[in-house]
Structure 1
Amino acid sequence: MKDIRIIGGGPGDTAYILPAARQAAEQCDLIIGDGRMLRAFGLEVDEKCVFEMGPMMKRLEWLKEQPDSLKAGILVSGDPLIYSMFRLVRRTFPEAEVRIVPGIGSVQAFAARLGESMEESKIISAHGRNMTGEFLAAAVRQYPKLFILCDNERTPGWVAGQLMDMGLAAVDMSAGSRISYLDEKIISGAPEQLIGTEWPALSLVMIKSKSDDMEQPVPMNGKQGALNRLLRDDEFLRNQTPMTREEVRWIILGKLNLLPDSVLWDVGAGTGSVSVECARHCPMGKVIAVEKNPRALEVLYENQKQLASDNMEIIEGAAPEVLEGLERPTHVFVGGAGRALKDILKVLCKKGPGIQVVIASVTLETMIEACQLAETMEGLEKTEQLTIRIEKERSVGSYHLMEGGHPVTLLIARTCGGQDE
C-alpha cells in the first residue's frame, strides 16, 4: 500500500509554512511539487528524491510505478483540502494511505488582510471550471460573503464586469493577488472600479452582498433562463430523431444527482435534451455530448446554441472509440449505446471508482444486457433499477382516456474499482 502525504505549503511566503509541513516533507523519501513550492521548502530538483510536478496526471501515473515502500510527499500551495489535489489523489490512488498536512490557504490569508471573518462565507474556484455569469450572480445572491479563486480568464476584472451585467453593481468587492508576498496587491471598491484592471493568475476576489442586493432580480440571457429551470419538450428543436420525454428526462436528472462542477458524458445524446438540461445544472462543470448520427447532430447543435450554457461540448463519433481521450467524468448518462454498451462500460470502469452511471433502455434486449453487465462486470456496482411509464390524459369525444408511451427502464450504477488498461 502506498503512503502518500499531501503537504500544504501556505499562500506563498516561507514564513507561512507550518512546522508540521516542513517536518512531514523531511520524512518523505521522494517529493513532488511545482517550482514555487519546491523553492519555498528549500528544495532543488535532482530527479532522485525531488521531482518537478509537470503535467499533473502524467506525474501521478509515474508515481503509481514507484515502489510502495517509498513515502511520497506532494507539496501544494495553500491548504490541500480547499480546491487542491486531495480529491484527485484519492481517486487516482483509492487503495493508498493518503495523509493530509494542512496549510494556511490563500483565502484565509486574504480574509485576514481584509479583516473579514470567514463565517457564513462560501468559497468557489474558477480553476479548470466553466464559471458562468449566471452562476456567479446566483452565488452572490445566495451567500452574504463569497470568496472566488480566479484563473487566467476569470480574473477580478472579469468578475467585476459580470457583476455589472447581472445588475449587482452595488455589492462590495475586494480583489487581491500574490497574498503574503512583498508585491502583494489588494484593491477594494465597487465592481465598476475594478473593470479592466489587470491581475496575475493567482488572484482572489471577495464579494459582500447587502440585503438590498439579495432582493434584486438577476437578469438571465436567452440560453439560461432561470437557473436550474426544467425545460419542456416544446422548447427543443426536433426532427425524426427520438427524444427523451420531459418527465423521464427530469427523473434522469434526479438520479444523476449532479453537482455544480460535475463533468457529464451523455453517450448517444440524440437531440441533446438530456445534455442541455444537465449543462444548465452544472454551470461550473462540463457536459460532453457524444453522437454519431448526422441527422441527430443537426438538431443537437441547434439545441446547444439556443438552450445550453457555454459548458456543453459536442463530440461527433461512435462510442466507445471517441471516449478514450475525453476528460474523466463524474457522471455518465447512456441513452443510445446500440450494441456497444459492454465496451462503453469497460471504458468507464477503467476511469476509476465513484462515477455515477445512469443507463436508459426502451427495448427488452438493452434492459436485459444492462442488468447482466451491472451484475457481472468487474468495477461496476448496481445501486438501483426502476421502470417509468408516463400516462397523459387524452380526450375522445366526451370521454377522457389515460394514454401512455413506451416504458423506460433506468439502471443506476457506480464504478467501484478500475479494470486494468
Structure 2
Amino acid sequence: MTEGIIRVIGVDQQGEGKVNESMLAGCKAVVLTGRFHCCLPASAESLQRIPISPLTGAIESIRDHLSSGDVAVLASGDPLFFGIGKKLIKEFGRNRVKITPAVSSLQYAFARFAIPWDDAAFVSLHGRKHHNRVAALLTRPLTAVLTDNINRPEMLAAELLQFVGKNDEMMKIHVAENLGMPDERCVSGTLAEIAAMTFGNLSCMIIVRNEVSNSSGKSSFGLIEDEIIHSRGLITKNEVRASALHALAIPANAIMWDIGAGSGSVSIEAARMQPDTLVYAIEKEEEQQHNILANIARYGVANIQLVSGGAPEMLAGLPRPDRIFVGGSGGNLAEILRHGADELLPDGRIVVSAVLEKTRKEAPEILYQCGLKVDLRQIEVRRCCYPSGQTTTFNPITLIVGRSVSR
C-alpha cells in the first residue's frame, strides 16, 4: 500500500477566507494551531485534528497517520520561510512533502510601508537564539526581522541603540504589529523612538540603513591614509594595516577588540570587510575619539562601537573576543595582553603592532607565557613615486601574532 503525503498549506496572514476543500481531499488528519481552526471548511469536520505543539509529538502523529492517507499541515504564510516546511522535509524527504504557500507576514509588512524587498536580508528571532544578533541586524542596507514575545521590537531597538549610540540617525525602523487584525498598527521611527514604544508578540521589524554617499563605490578593503580622517600623521600605514588584517584573519560573525584604536583605520577596514563582525574600538584620547566617530559616519559602518577610555580597565564587560588588535597600550602592555589572552575565545588571535623595541621584546614572551602560539613578522615600508623617484622610508614595524590553542 502506498503511503500518503504531507500537504503543507500556507494560511494567509490576513485570515481571509478558508482553506480550499480540494487541498484537503484524501487527508485523514490535519495538524494546526488553535487559531487556524476557523480556517477549515465544513467538510473538514471528520478530519482528526492534531495540535502542532509540541512539534515532536505532531511529527510522530503525522508518521502514524501517513500509512492510511495524506496528512494536512496548516502553517502561517509561506511554510518554507522560517517555517515548518524545512523540518518536515528533513524528517520525511522532499518527495513526500507538498508545499502550497501563502503570503508571509514580512511580505505584508514591506507592502504596508511600500518598501521594495528584493535585496533584503532576513533574520528570524521567533523562538530562536541568534549568535551576534546585533551585527546581523545592523550591518545590511535592508534587514527584516521576525520577532516574538522575548525579542520584541522595542527590546531589539534598545539593544541596537546601546551599540550605535550617537549614530542613531544612520537607520530608520519600521514595525508592523498584528498584521491583518483589528488592532493592526504600523509605525516608523528612529531607534530611540521605537525603543520608547511597546509592541505585542506578533510584530515584524524592518531596519533600513541610510545611504552613505562617501562610501559608494569604495572597495570593502584598501582604503588609503588620505581617505581616513586622522590627526598629525597618526595612522596605521596602508601596508602595515593590510598585513595586520591578514594576520588577524577575521572570521564572519566575530567579536573584535581594537585596543589603542587611534583614528580607527584598522577598525574601519575590519568592519567593512566583515559586516557581520562587531568591532569595539577602545581609545582614550579625545581627539582620536572624534576621528573614530567621524570615520564611522563617513563610511556608514554601524558595526563599530567606540569605547572611550583606556585599557585594560575599559575592557571589562565587553563581549569575549575572537580577535584582538593592539595598536597602542599606553604603558599597560602586560596587563592588556594577559587580560586579552584570558578572554580570547578558542581559535582566537591577538595581533600586536610594535613600533618600540621594548614592545617587540616583551609582547612575544607575554603571549607565550599565556599559552598562545607566537610568531613575529617585521615589515619595512619604502614608497617610491614614479617618475620622480622620490622615496619615503618608514620606520620598521613588527607584528607579533598570538594564536590560541583550541580548547
TM-score (norm 1): 0.52
Q: Which residue in the other structure is 1:232 paired with? A: 224
Q: Tell me the residue number matched to 1:346.
A: 338
Alignment partners' CA distance in 1, 2:340 and 2:57? 40
Partners of 1:349 and 1:417 within 8 A in 2: no
Distance 1:393 1:353, change over 3 A: same
Distance 2:378 2:315 in 1: 28
Give RMSD over aligned pairs: 4.6
Which residue pairs with 1:332 in the alignment? 324
AA matched with 1:388: I
Distance 1:314 1:399, change over 3 A: closer
Distance in 1 between the 2:59 and 2:85 partners? 22
Q: Secondary structure at the match of 2:135?
A: coil
Equivalent position of 1:300 in the other structure: 292
User: Could you say what secondary structure the match of 1:129 adopts?
Assistant: helix
> 1:46-125 residue pairs with structure 2 within 5 A?
107=82, 109=84, 111=86
CA deviation map 1:168-222 (0-9, x unaligned): xxxxxxxx99xxxxxxx999xxxxxx986999668789xxxxxxxxxxxx99523
**Per-residue deviation, 1:399:** 5.6
Match of 2:366 among 366, 370, 373: 373
Q: Which residue of 2 aligns with 1:389?
A: 380
3-state DSSP of counterpart to 2:262: coil
Larger Rg: 2
Distance 1:114 1:201, change over 3 A: farther
Provide closer, same or farther for how the CA distance between residues 333 and 14 of structure 1 changes in structure 2, counting only shifts above 3 A.
same
Letter in 2 for 1:371: P
User: Equivalent pairs: percent with the same residue?
Assistant: 23
User: By how many angstroms is 1:369 displaced?
Assistant: 0.9
1:388, distance to aligned residue in structure 2 (A): 1.7
Q: Which residue does 2:47 correspond to in 1? A: none
**AA of the residue aligned to 1:16:** L
Counterpart residue identity of residue 239, structure 1: S
Change (3 A) 1:148 1:300: closer
Q: Which of 240, 253, 265 is the equivalent residue of 1:261?
A: 253
1:170 paired residue number: none
CA shift for structure 1 position 320: 0.4
Instruction: State the distance in 1 between where 2:154 and 2:273 align.
Output: 20
**Alpha-carbon deviations, 1:252-300, whole Å to 9, x = none?**
2222222342211110011111111122223233111111122322322
Where do 1:14-53 residues align within 5 Å? Answer: 14-17=53-56
Q: 1:319 aligns to what?
A: 311
Pair 1:154–1:306, CA change in 2 (3 A): farther
For residue 51 of structure 1, what is the aligned residue in structure 2?
Answer: none
Instruction: Pick the aligned partner of 1:273 from 254, 258, 265.
Output: 265
Say if 2:338 and 2:366, in contact at 8 Å, map to a contact too: no
Assess, with a 3 A threshold, how the Cα gap between structure 1 residues 352 and 387 changes in structure 2: closer, same or farther. Answer: closer
Gaps of 5+ in 2: 1-32, 34-50, 61-79, 89-98, 103-120, 156-175, 189-197
State the match for 1:404 in structure 2.
Answer: 393
Q: Deviations over 1:131-190 (max 9, x none)?
A: 4676356x9xxxxxxx976554499xxxxxxxxxxxxxxxxxxxx99xxxxxxx999xxx
Matching residue's letter, 2:53: T
Deviation at 1:361, TM superposition (A): 0.9
Q: Specify the code of the residue in structure 2 equivalent to 1:130.
A: A
Report the AA paired with residue 410 of structure 1.
L
Q: In the alignment, is the contact (CA less than 8 A) between 1:381 and 1:416 conserved in 2? A: yes
Question: After the TM superposition, which parts of structure 1 deviate over 4 Å for at least 4 consecutive aligned residues?
Answer: 18-21, 110-116, 122-127, 147-151, 194-205
> What does residue range 152-231 of structure 1 map to in structure 2 within 5 Å?
152-153=152-153, 220-222=211-213, 224-226=215-217, 228-231=220-223
